[in-house]
Amino acid sequence: MKSLLSLLILTVSLFTLTVPAFAQTNTPSSLDTVKSAVATNMNQVLIEMLSGTKDAAKEIYGASKEAIHKSVDFVSEQAPDVIKQFLHWKLAESIIWLVVNLATVSILLYVSRRLWKWEQNEYNTEGIGYVGLVLGCFAAGVIFYNGVVDDVTNIVKISVAPKVYIIEYVVDTVKSYERGHNNH
């Protein structure tokens, strides 16, 4: 490419040096000869530059095509392992949240029961233990339904039908993205 640029500069330099000399002699044929030679040289330089660009484009296309094939091969090789790891992670995550939710429900029920017994045995005031029991049981029921049932469902889906779990996960992710994307 540098040699082509040098040739172009040399051609332009020769043109600027020779045209004024021929113009002073007022010889139209020699001026036409110089113009023709310069035009031929410039055309040659442009053709060589374009063919160099074409060759470079071929190299870039070939390298891009090869990189895409390598990427596809890599993804094809790694996809099963990534999916397996994803399922293991989601299973572990569901188990962890199941334990946390069960512990929370147990603590809420224990505290509600203690409030009920405390009121019955010590203060004999009506209503506080009952309200605590009702609120504790309600909170435990909400956590149980929203947390424990969901976690157990995920554990069963991953264990029994992992492909169905992955499809549902992708659909839920796309829907939540579309909802968030449409709100903005």
C-alpha to C-alpha distance for 155 and 160, rounded to whole angstroms = 8
Q: How many CB atoms lie within 10 A of CB 14?
A: 14
Does pTM surpass 0.75? no
Cβ burial of 95 (10 Å; 0-12, 13-18, 19+) is middle
Please give the chain's pLDDT, 184 residues, in tens. Answer: 555 555 556 555 555 555 555 445 555 566 667 667 767 777 777 777 777 777 777 888 888 888 888 888 888 888 889 899 999 999 999 999 999 988 988 888 888 887 777 766 766 556 666 777 788 888 888 888 888 888 999 999 999 999 999 999 999 999 988 888 776 5
The position carrying tokens 């596809």 is 72
Q: How many CA atoms lie within 13 A of 67 on its CB side?
A: 6
User: Smallest Cα–Cα separation from 125: which of 135, 115, 134?
Assistant: 115
- Residues 121-172: tens digit of each pLDDT: 766 556 666 777 788 888 888 888 888 888 999 999 999 999 999 999 999 9
Please tell me the distance from the alpha carbon of residue 38 to that of residue 10, in angstroms, as a whole number. 10
- Burial (CB count <10 Å: 0-12, 13-18, 19+), residue 121: exposed
